[in-house]
A and B are shown apart, each in its own frame.
Chain A
């Protein structure tokens, strides 16, 4: 009997893909292929990612990129979850309703994950305030386990959502209230124990605080959450993504304009793996770690982030066309954490 390893199985699966892509590869490789089926199989371009698509009806990773404070909802539905009220000092009171609910979500074609979610989505809704605003979050736990919301940022200890006495039981509610500071790219997540399980199940989201006074320069702003999913509960991830759905941005590239400032708010919320990273092809970006300074501290094309670590990245595309971005851990990339930017506009060489 021939030993049948995982690797050989993958190779067989690859054969199927190559055969399926036969016409395409025969044409695209016409100039370089020598002859015969052997070459077609072994030298044809390999497909990237799974066959099929995840429905975006429930959650659209592309929509998530550019939505905050429930801007993706119609005004009448939005007011149920988000309200802003001017205060005498010119700042805003921003009120949110965040609900923990259990929901099964699709993370790769045909792969469903029993998630714990904030407002039915993973990552949870992006909250965004300006430095000095008052943030008031009414948290309702409609999930099957005790949960909390632990915000990163300045706040008094009773608003920390971390200790056993802070846990909100199923059916319970708690109001988190604090001033938004410091400005930067922050996050929120459940802090009930076991912590790695509560975070990994999907209870996390982005909390952006914009600087008061002069805002950051206008830009096309993108929310990018690096996450992973342990589908068989062996404390290791089988699927990786940015914004939950594996390979989503390979099929639906992030569309940007050549020459325009693009600002990426990137956070690592992957559990079980010590680090994650983002690598962008064909260009460099300026890094603002944690987004807490207006001065960039480095210029690179690959940034490594620990769990919970985040950064604001800025760049301008010089060339029209498609550019990959992915984790530079190749394993993560091939298990879903890869995508494309697609830039349009006239080429700019400087």
Chain B
């Protein structure tokens, strides 16, 4: 019940946005640059930054920075996602090889580290985000 109210409110906001803004417009505060893109690939039940070899690498971000994290699943037949539980953000679960999902979020202003993981495989697919 709570969920459906939230959904209705969101639909309302989306409808308002669609009416008020030109097609394709994104609500961004004035002066806020486009989000920085981080591309993550899943291979052999391991996260990699696209094009790099380090398994489950530490991801470095800046406090308050906006990030567009793109996750691509290269594991055929296995379902993966990318989630940061402490920030309550995550991609949807990707079931097919080559499937992608993008997650846009703002890094909290608190510096330090927080873990990221794949929800179904959190014991072997997990790493750390460092907020600088």
Complex Cα distance, B76 from A105, in Å, reads 8
- Residues A77 and B77 in contact, CB atoms below 8 Å apart: no
Interface size on B, residues (CB 8 A): 12
Interface of A is mostly: strand
- Residues B77 and A105 in contact, CB atoms below 8 Å apart: yes
Query: With A57-B76, A58-B76 in contact, is A101–B45 under 8 Å at CB?
Result: yes
Which residues of B (47-86) have their CB < 8 Å from a CB of A? Answer: 75-79
Complex Cα distance, B122 from A99, in Å, reads 12
B118 and chain A: residue at smallest CB distance: A142
Contacts of B76 in A (CB 8 A): 57-58, 104
A337 nearest CB across to chain B (Å): 22
Which residues of B (83-132) have their CB < 8 Å from a CB of A? Answer: 120-124
A97 and chain B: residue at smallest CB distance: B124
Query: With A77-B44, A120-B45 in contact, is A103–B123 under 8 Å at CB?
Result: no
A319 nearest CB across to chain B (Å): 40
- Residues A99 and B45 in contact, CB atoms below 8 Å apart: yes
Query: With A101-B45, A120-B45 in contact, is A140–B124 under 8 Å at CB?
Result: yes
A sample of 19 more A-B contacts (CB under 8 A), given A99-B45, A103-B77, A171-B122, is A57-B76, A58-B77, A99-B124, A101-B45, A101-B78, A101-B120, A101-B121, A102-B79, A102-B120, A103-B78, A104-B77, A104-B78, A105-B77, A112-B77, A120-B75, A120-B78, A142-B45, A142-B120, A142-B123
Binding site for A on B (CB under 8 A): 44-45, 75-79, 120-124
What 8 A-B pairs come out closest when comparing CB atoms?
A104-B77, A103-B77, A142-B121, A103-B78, A58-B76, A140-B123, A105-B77, A142-B123
